Structure 1
Amino acid sequence: MSKRALIVLAAALLGAGFAFAALDARAQHVANTATVTIDTSADARVADVVAFRENFMAVDHAYSPAARAEAQRRLTALKNNAGAISQAYFELELSRIVALADNGHTAAFPWPRAARYNRIPLRLAAFGEDFYVVRTPTQNGDLLGARLTAIDGHDIAQLRTASRSLMGGVNGWRDRFANYLFESPEQLHALDLAADAASATYTFQTTNGQSIERRFDGDAVDAAHASANPGRFLYPQTIDGEGEWRALMPAASAPWSMQAPDERFRWRNAPEIDGIVLELRQNNDAANETIAQALTRFERAIADNRPRNLVLDMRMNSGGDLNTTRDFVQSLPARVPGRIFVLTSPWTFSAAISTTGYLKQTAPDRVTIVGEQVGDRLQFFAEGAPETLPNSHLMVLAARERHDYVTGCEGFTDCHGNVVRNPIRVPNLDVQIAAPWTIEAYAAGRDPGMEAIAAVLR
Structure 2
Amino acid sequence: MIHDLELVLTQVLPIDPSFRVIGREEMDRCISDARRAALADSKDDFLLSLMRLMALPRNGHTRLIPNDAISVLPMRFLSIGSAVHLVAVKPALAKSIGDTLIAINGAPVRAIETAADQFLSGTGQRQRVIGSILFAWPKALERLGFTAGSSAIEYTMQSAAGHVTALKFETTDVVTGSIYYPRNEHGKPNASWSPDSFVEIKDFDELGLLISLPSFFDPCRGTLSDAMFGAARRVRSQPDSPLVIDLRGNTGGDFLKTLPLLDAITNGGGARRVGLLVDKFTFSAAIVFAALLKHRLGERLELIGEEMGDGLTFFAEGGSMELPDSGAVVRYSSAFHDWASGRVDETTPTEIAERVVPVRQLDLDRRWVIKSTDTRTFHEFCRNILSDLNT
Q: Distance in 1 between matches of 2:98 and 2:358?
A: 41
Bigger mean CA offset, 447-456 vs 165-174 = 447-456
Change in CA separation of 1:182 and 1:295 when aligned onto 2, cut-off 3 Å: same
Residues 1:428 and 1:348: Cα distance change in structure 2 (over 3 Å) = same
Q: 1:46 and 1:197, CA in 2 relative to 1: closer, same or farther beyond 3 A?
A: farther
Residue 273 of structure 2 contacts residue 301 of structure 2 at CA under 8 Å; is this kept in 1?
Answer: yes
Given the alignment, which residue of 126, 130, 138 partners 1:173? Answer: 126
* C-alpha distance 310-75 of structure 1, shift in aligned 2 (>3 A): same
Pair 1:314 & 2:247 matched: yes
Structure 1 residue 171, shift from structure 2 partner? 1.0
TM-superposed deviation, 1:316 = 1.5
CA distance in 2, matches of 1:191, 1:161: 10
SS of residue paired to 2:12? helix
One-letter amino acid matched to 2:92: Q
Equivalent of 2:72 in 119, 122, 125: 119
CA distance in 1, matches of 2:169, 2:143: 17
- CA 1:230/1:221 → structure 2, altered by over 3 Å: closer, same or farther? same
Provide closer, same or farther for how the CA distance between residues 65 and 334 of structure 1 changes in structure 2, counting only shifts above 3 A: closer
**Corresponding residue of 2:278:** 344
8 Å contact from structure 1 (residues 383, 400) kept in 2: yes
Give yes or no for the alignment of 1:73 onto 2:4: no
Answering whether residue 322 of structure 2 is matched by residue 395 of structure 1, we say no
**Counterpart selection for 1:157 from 98, 101, 110:** 110
The amino acid of 2:315's aligned partner reads F
The answer to whether the Cα contact below 8 Å between 2:55 and 2:119 also exists between their aligned partners in 1 is yes
Q: Classify the secondary structure of the residue corresponding to 2:156.
A: strand
Q: Residue 24 of structure 1 corresponds to which residue in structure 2? A: none
Change (3 A) 1:331 1:451: closer
Alpha carbons 1:119, 1:220 under 8 Å: kept: yes
- Percent sequence identity over aligned pairs: 24
Residue of structure 1 equivalent to 2:291: 357
Cα distance in 2 for residues equivalent to 1:85 and 1:158? 29
* Cα distance in 2 for residues equivalent to 1:418 and 1:59: 20
2:381 counterpart of 1:425: no
Shift of 1:294: 0.9
Structure 2 counterpart of 1:270:
204
Q: 1:64 to 1:298 in 2, by over 3 A?
A: same
Tell me how far 1:192 sits from its aligned partner: 3.2
Structure 2 partner of 1:234:
188
Are positions 1:434 and 2:367 aligned together? yes
Give how far 1:101 is off.
1.0
- Report the count of equivalent residues: 387
State which of 314, 327, 346 in structure 2 corresponds to 1:380. 314
Give the drift of 1:229. Answer: 5.8
Aligned to 2:46: 90
Could you give the per-residue CA deviations for residues 92-136 of structure 1, whole angstroms, max 9, x where no partner exists?
110111011100111112xxx223333223221111232011223
Question: Which of 436, 442, 446 is residue 377 of structure 2 equivalent to?
Answer: 446
- Given that 1:163 and 1:175 are in contact with CA atoms closer than 8 Å, whether structure 2 keeps it comes out as no
Distance 2:151 2:220 in 1: 37
Equivalent positions of 1:254-269 (< 5 A) are 261-269=195-203
What one-letter code is carried by the residue in structure 1 that aligns with 2:135? Answer: F
Counterpart CA distance in 2 for 1:68 and 1:270 is 57
**Cα deviation, residue 394, structure 1:** 2.5
Distance 1:290 1:444, change over 3 A: closer
- Kept in 2: contact 1:407–1:426 (CA 8 A): yes
Q: Which residue of 2 aligns with 1:11?
A: none
For 1:328, the aligned partner's letter is: L
Residue 61 in structure 1 maps to residue 17 in structure 2: yes
Q: Distance in 1 between matches of 2:50 and 2:220?
A: 33
Secondary structure class of the residue paired with 1:57: coil
Please point out which of 175, 185, 191 is paired with 1:221: 175
User: Amino acid of the residue matched to residue 450 of structure 1?
Assistant: C
Instruction: State how far apart, in whole Å, the 2-side matches of 1:452 and 1:432 are.
Output: 15
Question: Residues 378-428 of structure 1, C-alpha deviation per residue, up to 9 Å, x if partnerless?
Answer: 111112122233422332122222101122226x44433223212222111
The residue number in structure 2 matching 1:6 is none
Cα RMSD between the aligned structures? 3.1
- SS of residue in 1 equivalent to 2:85: strand
Distance 1:190 1:172, change over 3 A: same
Letter paired with 1:59: I
The TM-score, its normalising length taken from structure 2, stands at 0.87
2:216 alignment partner in structure 1: 283
In structure 1, give the amino acid aligned to 2:388: V
Residue 370 (structure 1) shift: 1.4
For 1:3, the equivalent position in structure 2 comes to none
Contact 2:278 2:303 in 1 (8 A): yes
- Tell me, what secondary structure is at the counterpart of 1:324? helix
Q: Which amino acid counterpart does residue 428 of structure 1 have in structure 2?
A: Q
Higher relative contact order (CA 8 A, sep 6+): 1
- Contact preservation (8 Å) 2:186, 2:249: no
Gaps of 5+ in 2: none
Distance 1:350 1:233 in 2: 15
Deviations 1:4-45 (A, max 9, x none): xxxxxxxxxxxxxxxxxxxxxxxxxxxxxxxxxxxxxxxxx3
Q: Offset at 1:231?
A: 4.7
| TM-superposed deviation, 1:193 | 2.9
Q: 1:197 to 1:108 in 2, by over 3 A?
A: farther
**311, 332, 336: which one aligns with 2:265:** 332
